[in-house]
Structure 1
Amino acid sequence: MRVMITGAAGFLGRRLTHELIARGHLAGADGTPRAISRLVLTDLGEVPPLPGGATALDVRRIQGDLADPGILQELCAEPYDALFHLASQLTFHAEADPDLAWKINVAPFQALIGGAVSGARVIFASSIAVFGGALPDVVDDSLAPLPQTTYGMHKAVNELILADASRHGRIDGRALRLPIVLIRPGMTQPVVSDQVAAIVREPLEGRAFAAPLPGDLGVPVASAGAVVRGLIALHDVPRAALPPKGALNLPALTVTVSEMQAAAQRAGATGAMSCAPVPATVEVVRGWPGRFVSRYAEGLGIGPDADFDAVIADYLAHREG
């Protein structure tokens, strides 16, 4: 089986790549396991070294910007049986330059689907950001998307592109809408989701951090490990088990800021923790669902992390350095 991963140098892309190499197979169209024989890994950044199990695979790395016509042409010339599309420009940058974001978030995805082998499975990492407006406390698969950001709009458009190409029988497309994914390693970035990650990442790395949210505010989260398991499970399930458009939510663990901080303390955090709510950040997070669920996902064995201790354990087991 030939597998392509976009965004392969990102923290989710690296985890997915390593898991696929360790696993060695994915389900074929008839449901039986097919050995992974070739990996095409692409990202704007350099794809880091692969684990030893990759030596038996045919691996190609393509480094470059998806908005670059030359890079996109290279990728479209690569036949694949499975595409995991993780690459995306996030909210902060998409809001600053929507036209450039379209060239990165939407146009390449449409081109990659257009060049797919007939019947290829395309797994798209969508987002909780497709939902917006006056949300109910519990958001499930049946709620109609109403994005309030350029990033969320691009994710919603890609879900429709995926569903239409599947309807025409060109591909077998599936989308997994992700909640806030924790915990990305590295330094804190100027995006709300990473401000949430910093609540525990900074103290775990010995640095003081004042959460920009009140202690009693709940946030829907998932570990990188839960996301990777969900993406692979979504690839392998029969089409008939999916909702009509092939898009479903990754069930989230809802956890308060105080619960995050307590879990960080249990894990041995040495950095000081406090709360200093920032009104603009609080407003954004209060606009997220209190609970992010999916009856389809639960029926497929795709579920949330057991607790926030498990989210931290996942980070500590896979952090860099």
Structure 2
Amino acid sequence: NYASGARAAALAQARAVSGVAEVWLYSAEPCRDAALRQEFRLLEIPDGGGLRLLSRPTRQVLRDGDVSFAGKLLRLAYAVLAHIGLESVLPKALLRRNMAAAFETFDTIFVVSEASKMREFVSRCRHPGKIQWIHTDYAAWRELNEWTRAVTKNDAALYRRFDAIVCLNKTLREKFLAVYPQFADKTLAVPNPVFRGEIRERAKAPLTVPVDERVCNLITIGRLEREKRYDRLLDIAAELKKRGFAFRWYFAGSGPLYEDIRRRRDALGLGPCVTLTGYMENPCPLLARCNALVLFSEYEGTPVTIDEAKTLGVPVIANDVGGVREMLEDGRYGKITGGDDSFIKLITQL
């Protein structure tokens, strides 16, 4: 329910499947997207079956006058259980009590995130076929930090109960199977659907951000999060400015690091060179007018933005992570590179 590449990919997958099946969507968070409500049927369960309360910070729940005493006790119990390593006990109980009957009516259930709180519950549904979509470089992501290690610690047992596991290209499948070779027979490589005609039409929309075509225009599209390494991109931008290279770099996206990135940009004197656009519902008009899409992520799956850049004829400069090399077809649609100096060299050659 928040803007991200994984959300865009999941909705593209849902649209593709809707041509052969009746598709319903479910999220523990309420859907506030009116267009989405018109396009799909939504499975709506009050309070997300109890999960919504558990997903909120404990202090926030305790201070909320609209939460009942029983609800506050439930959140406190969850905090205590999580502290002693039993964080899955309450979500499992709530899901079985409040949601099992509704989920058992479906023929197939797709879980569209490798970190979803729904994975354990779905894996134990009896009637539906169960498919897990892996949207990232699983092997790299599971070792990213303590949280990802905790989320994935029981995945070997959990994925044994799924009927199929779908990775987004052959490279990501190979990386997943390097961790779990026992699932080779049911792990598939299925790329995200790419609606090229729709991308080209979206690119024709009016620009909402001014573009100076006299300079080299760069764009990075994505959530403003640590793993996207906007700090490194700002270092590269500072070096480009120091060398007298004329450029404008657009950071198109929103996220928890927006203010940190803005402050660092200003401290480096990059205000005239780096534009933070905030969230863009449609970045395609801006992307189409840029000289390159630049990605410096620590890990990726198969970024939707690369498919958009390829469709619009915009070269890509990116780290060799996840399924990116395969997407770029070993240089046909852009350049794979490594450190800051390599990025700078490729940018100045545009």
TM more than 0.5: no
TM bin (shorter chain): 0.3 to 0.5
Q: Which has the higher strand share?
A: 1
Q: Which has the higher helix share?
A: 2
